[in-house]
Amino acid sequence: MSKIISITAISSISPLGNSPEIIWKNYLSGNHCFSNQRFDHKDTFVATLDNDSKQVIVNLRESDNKYKSLDISVLYAMAAARKAVETAGWNPNAIFGINIGSSRGATDLFEKHHKEYLETGKAQTLASPTTTLGNISSWVAHDLQSSGPEISHSITCSTALHAVLNGVAWLKAGMADKFLVGGSEAPLTDFTIAQMRALKIYANAENNGVQSIEWPNRAFDLEKKQSTMILGEGASVCCLEIGKRENALAYIEGIGYATEILEHNISISAEATCFQKSMNMALQNTNLSEVDAIVMHAPGTVKGDLSEYKAIQKIFGESLPLLTTNKWKIGHTFGASGMLSMELAIMMMQNNTFISVPFAVAQIQTKPIQKVLINAVGFGGNAVSILLSL
């Protein structure tokens, strides 16, 4: 059996838009997607869907009476999945697996139902089925009328790339020919942002100053003195197929994973041992000089950005690939972030253009971008690295 895994489509809905043309145009722009919105506790930077994408979700919710009670994280996944399956040319009634995870699941709906319970002592009838984690993949399967396995999971911020690992495993085991994988997240709620503030990792809109307002999330700024993470929302999925397909956008050349031995319940080590292990595993059959770029996890926290950079230095030495991240532009989308990073990697390879971080040390592209490594890690030190090639 062929061990080659083809990516035949990737689709997303995010602050960058919901079509490849618009998304790439926004990547080429030097502008970020953050706005300063007022939440219950204080002014807060967030990255919300663009207006066209918001209308897509409104139309989707109104298209079926059953969809009106769903959390927006489910609708985001459905919108991205529809487009991916259409692009890949899959028959919606075909047999294919689905694994779309989320860090927090139905965040908005859960907080709404819990607030109502605290106020009234009663829960609404649909409170449980619409807030369970399995809600996402189950509704995507319903919407696409697929008949393959449906899997949901949460492995914090590396959720989407863990879905890739799972899809690859099913395909290589001969248990499926096609798998739809990815992540969805809608974390822009008061309580979720309050949790990030309690950890002292969220950007402070009131005290960051003019430069930080210009670039609120200074992801991959290794000189910053305080964490500047900002949350974004969206979903991204890709279609995986066993074998070398003519319509392949890219191929999965290597996968790696590792779990940090933690000294703190959220941190990774100073040199991100988990990333060193996951990158080594993904690159075990690859000459390091062939890796043209890395899309880093780099959430905009002081320790997170620096530890990942040190891990990359440990692996690559002085011959570093081009390094970038998209979180300075769209924020941290938690469980969806890894797949949005994969989307950026594929777009850079397709367009042979490196998307740099505007305030990081300048890097110059000197050769075609044909192999890109993507990193993701979440609370708990669950690291994943995926190597893609054209």
Per-position DSSP letters for 129-158, written without gaps between them: TTTSTTHHHHHHHHHHT--S-EE---BTBT
- Which residue from 338, 19, 20 is spatially nearest to 181, judged by alpha carbons? 338
Query: Is residue 66 within 8 Å of residue 85, measured between CB atoms?
Result: no
Predicted pLDDT of residue 265: 56
Residues 6+ apart with CB under 8 A from 317: none
Cα(174)–Cα(302) distance, integer angstroms: 43
pLDDT of residue 378: 86
Is the dihedral angle over the CA atoms 37, 39, 45, 47 positive or is it negative?
A: negative
Q: Which CATH class is domain 253-389?
A: alpha beta
- Tell me how far the alpha carbon of residue 60 is from its chain's centroid: 22
List the structure tokens of 200.
């002292």
pLDDT at 266: 56
Phi–psi pair at 60, nearest 5 degrees: -65, -45
Q: What is the pTM of this model?
A: 0.95
pLDDT at 312: 97
- Of 314, 234, 227, 219, the C-alpha closest to 54 is 234
Q: Where are the domains of the chain?
A: 5-242, 253-389
What's phi and psi for 292, nearest 5 deg? Answer: -90, -30
- Specify the pLDDT at position 261: 74
Q: Side by side, which strands form the sheet with 43-47?
A: 34-38, 43-47, 231-232
- List b or e across 280-305, with b for residues whose CB sees 16 or more CB atoms inside 10 angstroms: bbbbeeeeeeebbbbbbbbbbbbbbb
Q: Of how many residues is the chain composed?
A: 390
Cross-strand bridge partners of residue 202: 229
* Whether the domain at 5-242 and the domain at 253-389 fall into the same CATH topology: yes
pLDDT at 2: 57
Architecture of domain 5-242: 3-Layer(aba) Sandwich (3.40)
Q: What is the pLDDT of residue 113?
A: 83
* CB 374 within 8 Å of CB 338: yes
Per residue of the chain (390 residues), give pLDDT as tens: 458 999 999 999 999 999 999 999 999 998 999 998 877 667 789 999 999 999 999 999 999 999 999 999 999 999 999 999 999 999 877 789 999 999 998 899 888 888 888 999 999 888 888 888 788 999 999 999 988 999 999 999 999 999 999 999 999 999 999 999 999 999 999 999 999 999 899 998 655 544 466 889 999 999 998 999 999 999 999 999 999 999 999 999 999 999 987 665 556 677 788 999 999 999 998 999 999 999 999 999 999 999 999 999 999 998 999 999 999 999 999 999 999 999 999 999 999 999 999 999 999 999 999 999 999 998 778 999 999 999
- 3-class DSSP assignment, residue 238: strand
First to last CA, the chain: 21
Report the amino acid identity of residue 354: F
- Tokens 């930077």: give the residue: 45
Show the tokens assigned to 83: 């487009």
